[in-house]
Amino acid sequence: MKTLNFGRIMTAVTALFMLMSILFVLPSGALAQRGDDRSARANRSQRRHYSKSDVLRVVRRVEDRSDAFKKAVDKSLDRSYLNKSRREDRINDRVKDFDKAIDRFRKSFDRRDRWDDSRSDFRDVLEQARPVDRLLDKAFDNKALPGRVRADWSDIRSDLNWLADAFNLPGLARIAVPPVHGDRRNR
């Protein structure tokens, strides 16, 4: 009778174990990878789809609000302690630049058949809105502007962030603005 060599048996068992690992572990990793690809595709397909009329409605609202906002800021600053200061001029200039960017964007948007082709023009709007956002935040902190102007900017910021989402761009920072006493809308 032949005696079995213990070393050969262990080598065979180890080889068999490695082969089984390769056969069972690698396919499960590939399936997991395929599952990740599927979930990424699902997330992309879950991204909201906007019609041109949806986007146009918000673009018109931002354009109307920015025109009124520009006038309200100018009038409010004329009544504030910032009147006739370089800071007042800087805020007014930034708000005017923002308003002009909105107007350029609207013209570009209207010219195009596909609304998402005006993405780069909307990016310019956001770039003009960021300094306005920072300057107004300081003015609000210093109580240079009334609560109504704060509420108006909050509405514009919300619309800009909605549009940023539609264009798949980063929106403006969502700064928590505490409500001002006496503000009718209590935002």
Residue 132's nearest CA partner among 154, 104, 103, 147 is 154
| pLDDT score recorded for residue 179 | 45
Distance (Å, whole) CA 160 – CA 167: 10
pLDDT at 183: 43
Q: Domain segments of the chain: what residues?
A: 1-47, 52-166
**C-alpha–C-alpha distance, residues 86 and 165, integer Å:** 35
pLDDT tens-place values along the chain, 187 residues long: 556 676 777 676 666 666 566 766 555 555 455 554 454 444 443 456 888 899 999 999 999 999 999 999 999 999 998 899 998 999 999 999 999 999 999 999 999 988 888 999 999 999 999 999 988 888 777 777 888 898 999 999 999 999 999 999 999 975 544 444 444 443 3
Instruction: Look up the pTM and report it.
Output: 0.66
Residue 182, pLDDT score: 47
